[in-house]
Amino acid sequence: MSHLPLKGLVVLEFSQYLSGPAAGLRLADLGARVIKIERPGVGDAGRKLSIKNLWVDESSLLFHTINRNKESYAADLKNEADLQLLKKIITKADVLIHNFRPGVMEKIGLGYAAVQAINPRLIYAEINGYGKAGPWKHKPGQDLLIQSIAGLTHTTGNKEQSPVPFGIAIADILCGAQLTQGILAALIRRQKRNTGALIEVSLMESLLDFQFELLTTYYADRQQPVRSAVNNGHPLLSAPYGIYATKDGHLAIAMMDIQELAEAIHSDELAAYTSESAFTHRDEIKAIIAAHLLQQPTAYWQEQLHSRDMWAMEVLNWQQLTQHPAYKAVQMEQSIQAEGMSITTTRCPIRINGERLTSDKPAPKVGADNAAIYRDFISEM
């Protein structure tokens, strides 16, 4: 896209693993020049965080998926000469992102106050694990740990199961997205008032916000939400909400009237219940639905429900999904060439004026752009 909205903005990414780089990735997708500040030789620790032991040159496939479309500047933050060069780059930057623990950037002389003194218009955006106060502030901010302490693992799985984590790094991705929102808001304010800002988010606060429905009900009655004994889909929602096995697969059923569902699937046993009992007798109703749906394949049940405009969809794995015409219609895949390899990954999900945002620029090698960045930001000073 020739006129990306953030074209001309410079973002310095002092980040590793997923949350900070996720924010940098989205800003790069929107046109910003995103420069990763990495340790010489070693780089972002996320380079060694592997997915299923899949690698591209010396870095993991995971690193490439979340650091495409960026540049790399290698600098030793403990080296005074390197630090002075970085400060010169900072004077010309628009945004600085970091996801270090509280106090780390202050210790090396790049905390908000120090950076604001050399570039008052800079948007300084930081992610930490648990906020800057409280007994957990120096604990490691890792996704599974955050899911566990934030209560999220008690929302997935059935009532008698142990706590179940999400199958993805949900805290990292959400937190990165929320940091991006804060950065964009601060950039708009800067355009109006010509002033920078400090943007702060934490993984824990992101997951608490993610659970606002559950937490609001807990604040009201101080009762822990209870998962369904079977086919749990959402601890606050009544039957039939959940995923059910069929004769040949699985079917997801969302909110709907119990009487209408009974008619659609031809269940006399289910017809004995009403919507008023859908929560008080949730487990009984779900057990009846679960047993009944085993009698026919998914396509049969989906046709019965869709013909009545009722909310249900088949459950697909990734192989089934990527072969489906509906998946192909959104064109979410893009190819990146890195070290002679072709990597297929997802594109930015945002469309602007109907145009999809793609970029085939691969993740950089450590320090690959030092010379160009020195020329653009330092040599002319």
Residue 303 within a domain: no
Residue 202 within a domain: yes
Calpha distance 171→226 (Å, rounded): 22
Residue 304 within a domain: no
End-to-end CA distance of the chain: 32
Assess whether 172 carries a catalytic annotation: yes
pLDDT in tens, the chain (381 residues): 568 999 999 999 999 999 999 999 999 999 999 999 999 999 998 888 877 777 877 788 889 889 999 999 999 999 999 999 999 999 999 999 999 999 999 999 999 999 999 999 999 999 999 999 999 999 989 999 999 999 999 999 999 999 999 999 999 999 999 999 999 999 999 999 999 999 999 999 999 999 999 999 999 999 998 999 999 999 999 999 999 999 999 999 999 999 999 999 999 999 999 989 999 999 999 999 999 999 999 999 999 999 999 999 999 999 999 999 999 999 999 998 887 788 899 999 999 999 999 988 999 999 999 999 999 998 865
Number of domains in the chain: 1
Domain that holds residue 50: 10-210+349-377
Residue 54 within a domain: yes
Residue with tokens 């997915």: 51
Which among 82, 172, 283, 309 is annotated as catalytic? 172
Residue 79 within a domain: yes
Residue 100 within a domain: yes
Residue with tokens 């020049």: 33
Residue 77 within a domain: yes
Residue 164 within a domain: yes
- CATH, residue 31: 3.40.50.10540
Is this structure's pTM higher than 0.95? no
Calpha distance 329→44 (Å, rounded): 35
